[in-house]
Chain A
Amino acid sequence: MIPAPFAYERPTTVDEALQAIAAGGEDVKILAGGQSLIPVMRLRLAAPETVVDLTRVTELRGVREEGDVLVIGAMTTHHDVITDPLIAQHAPLIAEATETVADRQVRHRGTFGGALAHADPAGDLPAVALALDAEFVLAGPNGRRTVGASDFFVDYLTTALEEGELLVEIRVPKLTGSWGVRYEKFNRVAQAWSIVAVAAAVRRENGHIAEARIGLTNMGPTPLRARATEAALAGAAVTAEAIADAARSAAEGTSPSSDLNAQADYREHLAQVLTRRAVSAAAGL
């Protein structure tokens, strides 16, 4: 399928990109890795007036440290995320989840920021960003602002990004202390989106679970935290029973969709099973 005609801009700096977006007319789409945008354009589900291609904006690529925070450029590819030593050390949950994204070809083109800005609730990275309390740095015509993950994901395919704004980097607090992590993904064929997935980070202290952060993929129009389970796990013993008890509330407050892979009640059940498995693994059981 051939996309509808569109204008094309390929800036080399963030400032140029912002100008191109401002000048691009009513309907501007930003092309990062193109792994979601190009297919929907080819299917003519999207027909933007202007496409602003960020692939030459080199300042948006790479990972760096700023004290207790890891800063990931929005245009860092999935492949670069998976192989980055800083991410492996300070945010291994991101690497583990990214390894499950689609296939090798997609991971070489698709980007961390692109996947987050697309905000597909079936995508793997939004729930991880939410679980890790990441912050999103948005550049716009009036400068930069920072939005927390819980405010960034607004609705289905909708984020806090305003017209004219660009996601430039994601700030992820380093996990310090004895954390274990796990991404439990459930899908039918290897390259498919998650039917449900659970991102868990668990900090152990004195033989107990001190803190658990649990992100849910595809359990509603946005990624969600399993707050009830997190609360139940705080201070809980590291036992299969305690974790199973806590996991029973994993679907509380969710609103999963029904589709040909799963009806809502089955997704709720999966959320519980996968939460139990993810937390158990993250807690070292």
Chain B
Amino acid sequence: MTVTEDAAAVAPAKEVGQPRRRKEDARLITGRTTWTDNMVLPGMLHLAVVRSPVAHARITAVDVSAAQQAPNVVAVFTGRDLAEEQGSIPCAWPVTPDMVNPGHPSIAVDQVNHVGEAVAIVVGRSKAAATDAVELVDVDYDLLPPVLDLEEAVADGSGLVHDQLASNTSYHFVFDAGDAGTGADTEQAFADAEVVVSRRFVQQRLIPAFMEPRSVVVQPQGENYTMWSATQVPHVLRVMAAMVTGIPEHKLRVIAPDVGGGFGGKLQVNPEEILCLLLARRLGKPVKWTETRSESLMAAHHGRGQVQFIDIASDRQGNVKGLRVRLLADMGAYLRLITPGVPALGAFMFPGIYKFPAYRFECDGVFTNKVPTDAYRGAGRPEATFAVERIMDELAVELGMDPLELRRKNWIQADEFPFTTVAGLEYDSGDYEQATREALELLGYDELRAEQKRRRESGDPVQLGIGFSTFTEMCGLAPSRVLGSLSYGAGGWESASIRMLPTGKVEVVTGSTPHGQGHETAWSQLVADQLGVPFEDVEVLHGDTAISPRGMDTYGSRSLVVGGTAVVKAAEKVVAKARKVAAHLLEASEDDLEFADGKFAVRGTPGATVGIQEIALAVFAAHNYPEDIEPSIDAEATFDPVNFSFPHGTHLCAMEVDTDTGMVKIRKYACVDDVGTIVNPLIVEGQIHGGLAQGIAQALYEEAVYDADGNLTTGSFVDYLVPTAADLPHFDTATTVHAAPGNPIGAKGVGEAGCIASTPAVVNAALDAVRHLGVSDILMPLTPERVWRAIRTGGDGGARATAGTNAYGGAQTESTAGVATPASELGGDR
């Protein structure tokens, strides 16, 4: 932006665009705040959950007598004790009318369907007392064969996860562009195509691994209940918990205090949240439950988990003609809040940034004896982006084309926006060529290509590869009408209100509940500009249904786009209300007033001004205000977007592969993202970095591994490898800005970009390094062993051994403690 007006030199700098340090960080980083587990209430009891050590079994007996006798144990409950009142964990997204939902008990009654499922709850006077008694609960299991593999689960003759159902398939969801009228006939496109490339990709299961474990406190007060929970979605949770437990919604207050991360993993109505409510009601005492890290890895929902069959059609010149996607999506044992919807959300993103004339998507949601899947950073879109960016590389190889040239040939041009895709989405704005050009420069593309050539020619044991990911995603979830058309059980609007305090300070109430994103800072910047008040004069209130009664919370890169817009709209209403008071106080016509930098001024009358903060005091005193208004300039607004927003970017990864050991190492990573107008560049940079770390982690490090018995062998951070800064490269990042036309801020959303874009760039880079050695695919995560095997013997690197490492004494899952079954006798001495 070029500043040309002289006036800009004297006006206060705009807050939007400033790299403000986050106002919440000091208290979050130093722990001077209330995390849920810090809550201590008089008479509070502590819950510890006895969890199933087996993946699939009938419960034949539960003996709690020894646990009941243990010191400082108040009570022990089994599933049978709570069967009549526990209802079912809700699923808000029946993606097809005939979707099969077997129901999801919070605590197992007759049958367990995954390792880690709750089978009993010990209530103790201290956490230690409850934990000690867990080992005294004796459960007898009659083992059933576990259903673990997606492809086997849908094969004829497979055992059933739920034997009352006809199959393991929950639903069959289809989007066909030909039927929808957004594209040509897909079968015909493939029949006519000169080139068809088909691949099977696997999206491994991932664990959200948020920093703060889940924690719940419930306080009963007569008929009323207050729940504190480390949740992303206090508003959604309140509605759902009321419906499940029968506690009337107006008698239930839900508070998400400061929450330490979620990544979708806390977008849930958790069994433990329901159990805390039920037991607080039963006992009439406050209760607390806080999970251990092992419980979190085992029992909180996982993400991803898909087998993808992708076909792409093109002509010999590389003009794409069609895309066909068939998915098997792992639901796990039950349907949680949006379990079935995650792959369906991805359905619309498989075409990526390319102009496919024909497209068909089919997905089977499949039950397995594993913990349910649900939202995880990107939720459907990383899976889609991975598939299309990987298959474009495969097509380029088949055609003998440069992968970037193939992309260029097919992507939407800058002058074609708004562009309606074959999936029926209207992409709002962007310039893929510009982002790509800048990313190539950031990476030093030509030099690295030259080095790659040298290494290849000299037969260097360390080979170099470069991978592309030219991605887009749909953010700003979501237009309520679109959600309705997809059978989602709620809207996608957001609410905000602004309270002008007598001293001129400002309280902003937002329905977007942060869990580490920096809403308090960004919202303050928005309001400072809108109202012309100092950044420091703004306080942002959130996360308490009594303070912020309306909201749809934080997920899907929606907060700034939808929630931020609601804040801006509320601020516009405040200014409009204040204008009437200003006109009255200045004895001028409203039409003659100008509002700038927090002051109303009478046009052409120097010195006749009144500040909006003064007006706040004036309406508080209410001694002198217009007769036809109420004495308040507070306002609220609800914003429901008309369209999604579509951030995009080009991510480039240069990867070194040690062909002797299979070790891969990112040499350089460059990305240029377009997330629309940037409110706070520091927050945007942080979101990109964190997203990249998680996306790279899917490519290289993380996988929830189950053994043949259905035990989670990545049951601690010894085996579930979350990379740290020490394992990641420097990131060269930059942005282009094409404002989103769908909201007044112009923001598109940045929360998931890095996570969605990076995974295929990393895998494409590794493959580019070793493709000349006969390697065309490697399963994620790209462990050194898999890379080595792929180089040595071809294939995709193959299955890993499932056993956890013996380091640490073989600490795998703690679920087996106190419960002895043949299947639970893993390694380690227990």
Contact = CB atoms under 8 A, between A and B. Distances in A.
Interface of A: 1-2, 4-5, 36, 39-40, 43-46, 120-123, 156-157, 186, 188-193, 195, 257-263, 266, 269-270, 273-274
A189 B789 contact: no
B721 A188 contact: yes
Interface in B783-830: 783-785, 788-789, 800-811, 814, 817, 828-830
B801 A258 contact: yes
Contact of B811 (A40, A258, A261, A270): A40
A258 B805 CA distance: 8
18 contacts: A2-B132, A5-B132, A46-B809, A186-B663, A188-B783, A189-B721, A191-B726, A257-B806, A258-B803, A259-B803, A259-B804, A260-B719, A260-B800, A260-B804, A261-B785, A262-B784, A263-B800, A274-B661
Sorted from nearest, which 7 A-B pairs have the closest CB atoms? A190-B726, A193-B807, A122-B807, A258-B801, A1-B292, A259-B803, A266-B785
A190 B727 contact: yes
A261 B787 CA distance: 12
B660 interface: yes
Nearest to B830: A45
Nearest to B788: A266
B809 A157 contact: yes
B368 interface: no
A133 B804 CA distance: 31
Given A266-B788, A269-B788, A270-B661, A1 B803 contact: no
Interface residues of B, number: 46
A4 B135 CA distance: 10
A123 B784 CA distance: 20
A199 B294 CA distance: 34
Contacts of A1: 131, 292-294, 814
A186 B807 CA distance: 14
B131 A2 contact: yes
A193 B805 contact: yes
Nearest to A257: B806
B701 interface: yes
A188 B663 CA distance: 8
Nearest to B786: A266
Given A45-B828, A188-B784, A122 B805 contact: yes
A2 B701 CA distance: 29
Contacts of B810: 45
B125 interface: no
Contacts of B804: 259-260
A255 to B, nearest CB: 13
A99 to B, nearest CB: 13
Interface in B743-773: none
B785 A273 contact: no
Nearest to B789: A266
B724 A189 contact: yes
Nearest to A194: B807
A107 to B, nearest CB: 14
Instruction: Give the one of A186, A259, A266 with max B CB within 10 A.
Output: A259
A273 B131 CA distance: 47
A5 B809 CA distance: 20
B294 A120 contact: no
Given A45-B829, A123-B807, A191-B726, 12 more contacts: A1-B814, A40-B809, A44-B817, A120-B808, A189-B701, A189-B721, A190-B726, A192-B718, A192-B721, A257-B803, A259-B806, A270-B661
Nearest to A263: B801
A186 to B, nearest CB: 7
Interface in B442-475: none
B738 interface: no
B48 to A, nearest CB: 9
Instruction: Give the one of B784, B804, B814 with max A CB within 10 A.
Output: B784
Contacts of B713: 260
B723 interface: yes
A261 to B, nearest CB: 6
A178 B294 CA distance: 49
A188 B700 CA distance: 9
B803 A260 contact: yes
Interface in B715-731: 716, 718-719, 721-724, 726-727
Contacts of A190: 724, 726-727
Contact of B809 (A36, A189, A195, A258): A36
A39 B811 contact: yes
Contacts of B809: 36, 40, 45-46, 120, 157
A269 B660 CA distance: 9
Contact of A186 (B294, B661, B727): B661
B338 interface: no
Contacts of B724: 189-191
B97 to A, nearest CB: 41
Nearest to B48: A2
A41 to B, nearest CB: 10
A148 B298 CA distance: 43
A36 B809 CA distance: 9
A157 B713 CA distance: 20
A16 B723 CA distance: 43
B705 interface: yes
Instruction: Give the one of A189, A260, A261 with max B CB within 10 A.
Output: A260
A202 B722 CA distance: 36
B577 interface: no
A111 B807 CA distance: 17
A43 B716 contact: yes
Contacts of B814: 1, 43-45
B665 to A, nearest CB: 11
A189 B736 CA distance: 33
A36 B713 CA distance: 19
Contacts of A45: 809-811, 814, 828-830
Nearest to A190: B726
Nearest to A267: B785
A257 B806 CA distance: 8
Nearest to A42: B292
A30 to B, nearest CB: 15
B127 interface: yes
B68 interface: no
Contacts of B135: 44
A2 B805 contact: no
B803 A273 contact: no
B808 A39 contact: yes
B701 A156 contact: no
A89 to B, nearest CB: 29
Interface in B205-259: none
B806 A40 contact: no
A235 B811 CA distance: 44
B86 to A, nearest CB: 26
A260 B805 contact: yes
A156 B829 CA distance: 11
Nearest to B800: A260
Contact of A43 (B701, B726, B805, B811): B811
Nearest to B817: A44
A13 B441 CA distance: 65
B815 to A, nearest CB: 11
Nearest to B727: A189
Instruction: Give the one of B292, B806, B817 with max A CB within 10 A.
Output: B806
Nearest to B818: A44
A71 B805 CA distance: 33
Contacts of A40: 808-809, 811
Contact of B723 (A189, A195, A266, A273): A189
B705 to A, nearest CB: 5
Contacts of A2: 127-128, 131-132
Nearest to B806: A257
Nearest to B722: A189
Contacts of B802: 260
Contacts of A43: 294, 716, 811, 814
B565 interface: no
Contacts of B807: 120, 122-123, 192-193
A261 B783 contact: yes
